[in-house]
């Protein structure tokens, strides 16, 4: 059973601060990881994906992957109240040529003005 562990939070940061979201995963064979943002009552929206060790930056978001430690993180710089949502970390279980996602329970982030 492949698992992703996330701190459910809630994580609360002031506007303009850096929010740091973390997850660990159980399957050392997983190569690809995804961060989704989910607003209350809505569906998950892809923020970033990362395949390689190290950092990947996209605007205010930076994803980090450390395969040796089986650790994935998402940093949100200059946090805005509109970033308040649940952030889901997911790994890709590639059983064959097709992959399926396995998710953590999500971390609830609140950015207060």
Partner 1 sequence: DAGVTQSPTHLIKTRGQQVTLRCSPKSGHDTVSWYQQALGQGPQFIFQYYEEEERQRGNFPDRFSGHQFPNYSSELNVNALWLGDSALYLCASSLAGVEDTQYFGPGTRLTVL
User: Contact residues for partner 1 (CB under 8 A)?
Assistant: 4, 32, 34, 36, 42-46, 49, 88, 90, 92, 94-106
List all residues 6 or more positions away from 40 whose beta carbon is below 8 Å from its beta carbon.
Answer: 85, 86
Q: Tell me if residue 83 falls in helix, strand or coil.
A: helix
Report the distance separating Cα 30 and Cα 9, nearest Å: 25
Name the minimum Å distance from CB 9 to partner 1: 12
Name the minimum Å distance from CB 108 to partner 1: 10
Name the minimum Å distance from CB 78 to partner 1: 25
Nearer to partner 1, 79 or 106 (CB): 106
Q: Containing H/E element for 95? A: none
């Amino acid at each position: 059973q492949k698992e992703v562990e996330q701190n459910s939070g809630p994580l609360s940061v002031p506007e303009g601060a850096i929010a740091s979201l973390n997850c660990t995963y159980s399957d050392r064979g997983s190569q690809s990881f995804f961060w989704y943002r989910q607003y209350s009552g809505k569906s998950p929206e892809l923020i970033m994906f990362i395949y390689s060790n190290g950092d990947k930056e996209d605007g205010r978001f930076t994803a980090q992957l450390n395969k040796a430690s089986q650790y994935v993180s998402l940093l949100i710089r200059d946090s805005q109240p509109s970033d308040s949502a649940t952030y889901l970390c997911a790994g890709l279980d590639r059983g064959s040529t097709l992959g399926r996602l396995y998710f953590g329970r999500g971390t609830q982030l609140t950015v207060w003005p």
